[in-house]
Amino acid sequence: MQQSLGPGFVESDTFAFERRLIEQGRTVVAGVDEAGRGPLAGPVVAACVILPGDCDFAIFRDSKTLSPPARQRLHAELTRIGAQIGVGIVSPAEIDQLNILQASLLAMKHAMEALPVCPDFLLVDGKFPVPVSVAQQPLIKGDSRSASIAAASIVAKVTRDQLMEEYHHKFPCYNFRQHKGYPTAAHRQAIIEHGPCPIHRRSFKGVRDFVGTSE
């Protein structure tokens, strides 16, 4: 269920969407974003975050603009200030079955459902609504326009990077620690030399041509 914030709405700051919704009577506004649409390996991870209304929202920015240490600090800050956080993870096998767009939306749905409270409005990064019966507004480049979405992008990225670090120890020949599953030249070469491992996305170009070479 999508909702427009109205033609007179002006984005004056990165908490403008949340503030406007609260003024309209919404009490629990959450931002949702995902990490890991582009990699050749690993899950897609989504996070849903409800920021406390009195927090310093300006410190939360699009995770892609932050260094790994800065993301880690802000992830810890979200816990410190008592932000409500839900995380959703969709496996490589599910990605192959659904396609990456539907898998990303499913991860967002799981993230919202993992929150300790149910929001009454979702701000969603991207063009597509999440398949839940909650009022929502998709925002293109939402991670740079909404502090709640930016916070969600940080949680999703940190969580996924941690998972890929764990996979690095399980499948060291692919060096997931370095590229996190993204299609770098070194990662592509590792697939050529070793074939795909169990966390590779077999429907993705750059992987599917080598399915069966290592198993």
pLDDT digits (tens, 9 = 90+) for 65-124: 999 999 999 999 999 999 999 999 999 999 999 999 999 999 999 999 999 999 999 999
Of 70, 98, 97, 53, the closest CA to residue 157 belongs to 70
* pTM, two decimal places: 0.92
The boundaries of the domain holding residue 66 are 16-169
pLDDT of the residue at 13: 87
**Residue 101 burial class via C-beta count within 10 angstroms: exposed 0-12, middle 13-18, buried 19 and up:** middle
Query: Reduced to 3 states, what is the DSSP secondary structure of residue 15?
Result: coil
Question: Has residue 56 been placed in a domain?
Answer: yes
Question: Has residue 201 been placed in a domain?
Answer: no
Of 37, 67, 35, 32, the closest CA to residue 147 belongs to 32
Question: Has residue 72 been placed in a domain?
Answer: yes
Question: Has residue 84 been placed in a domain?
Answer: yes
State the first-to-last Cα distance of the chain, in angstroms, to the nearest integer.
Answer: 44
> Going residue by residue through the chain (215 aa), what tens digit of pLDDT does each one get?
545 444 444 455 899 999 999 999 999 999 999 999 999 999 999 999 999 989 999 999 999 999 999 999 999 999 999 999 999 999 999 999 999 999 999 999 999 999 999 999 999 999 999 999 999 999 999 999 999 999 999 999 999 999 999 999 999 999 999 999 999 999 999 999 999 999 999 999 999 989 865 44
Question: Has residue 7 been placed in a domain?
Answer: no
CA gap 102, 183 in Å, rounded: 21
Domains held by the chain: number: 1
pLDDT of the residue at 141: 96
pLDDT of the residue at 7: 42
pLDDT of the residue at 12: 53
CATH number, domain of 155, equals 3.30.420.10
